[in-house]
Amino acid sequence: MFVFLNGRLIPAADAVVSVFDRGFLYGDGLFETLRVMKGVPLDWDGHWRRLAHGAETLKVKLPFTSEVLRAQARELSRHNQLPEAILRLTLSRGVGSRGYSPRGADTPTFIMSLHPAPVLGPRAPQWKLHTASLRLPTGDALSGCKSASKLLYVLARAAAEAAGANDALLLNVRGELAESASGNLFWLEQETVHTPPLESGALPGTTRELVLGWCAEHRLVFCETVAKRARLLRASGCFLTLSSLGVVEVTALDGKTIPTASLTRRIRKGVLSSWRRMAKRVE
């Protein structure tokens, strides 16, 4: 497997960064995870916008343009003969002086790596959620960024797996629903689609945007709703959106069953169709 590292394609085993890279020292960086379909990274522009917004927040200069990297991402997929994959973009502030101050760290590190992924089918994966004890901050300057400081998510996910679940439900410090460790959260109340507002601490997900668009197009009532965990247990359906897997159905929360819903399947199909159109458009 080859990796794109600061402008060069190199074997994964040789892809290394300094132990003084601030991404390693402090999680001082950003990342994006994109689905690659037929060699095309999906919704590149949406992911790039979020990365560029994050880079502005962190005051890290993006070392390549969107156009150059998009072309390199396709080249990476060809070179690795991996047309169906997950692509990770990583931007870190690079090496600086000791301490939190980012002064003097002005040569960022940029990495793209590919990871094998199964072809996406119409059936949504079914996941169980476990409520994390660690709480997210409510929406702040950082919650709009997909930062590389993700230890809270790692521990929440590990606790979920230890409890026999697939992913963690994350609440914010006010006890409101925010997101899952891996994706955005949605729930259904009959034909109404709810999701937590970004102010609750959810990441502005690119697939979340796609679902919002799909709902508008199909004249479904759609609400950004501040709610507590109990509301999920009364929902008529629940799902997550992940850039890697599309729509994932949630069938249980903390051991309590959540009904499956045909609307979830329709929305999954809608997202898959959009993705296929995106892949086709670029080919």
Which range, of 26-34, 41-49, 203-211, 268-276, touches a copy of itself by CB under 8 A? 26-34
The set of residues, in sequence order, having a beta carbon less than 8 Å from that of 55 and lying 6+ positions away, is 30, 61, 62, 91
- 152 interacts with a copy of itself by CB under 8 A: yes
The single-letter code of the amino acid at 72 is Q
Alpha-carbon distance of 198 to 119, in angstroms, equals 30
In angstroms and rounded to an integer, the radius of gyration of the C-alpha atoms of the chain is 19
Report, in Å, the least distance between residue 180 CB and a copy of itself. Answer: 10
Site string for a copy of itself, 161-200 (x = CB under 8 A): x-----------x-------xx------------------
Q: Which of 205, 225, 224 is nearest to 271 (CA)?
A: 205
Report, in Å, the least distance between residue 54 CB and a copy of itself. Answer: 10
Identified binder of a copy of itself from the candidate list 11, 81, 103, 118, rule CB under 8 A: 103
Report, in Å, the least distance between residue 66 CB and a copy of itself. Answer: 21
Structure tokens at 152: 């809270």
Q: Are residues 209 and 231 in contact, defined by beta-carbon separation less than 8 angstroms?
A: no
- 92 interacts with a copy of itself by CB under 8 A: yes
Report, in Å, the least distance between residue 4 CB and a copy of itself. Answer: 10
The set of residues, in sequence order, having a beta carbon less than 8 Å from that of 81 and lying 6+ positions away, is none
CA angle in degrees (0–180, nearest 5) for 162-203-102:
100
Residues that bind a copy of itself (CB under 8 A): 3, 5, 12, 15-29, 31, 57-59, 86, 88, 90, 92-93, 98-103, 111, 113, 115, 133-135, 137-138, 140-142, 147-158, 161, 173, 181-182
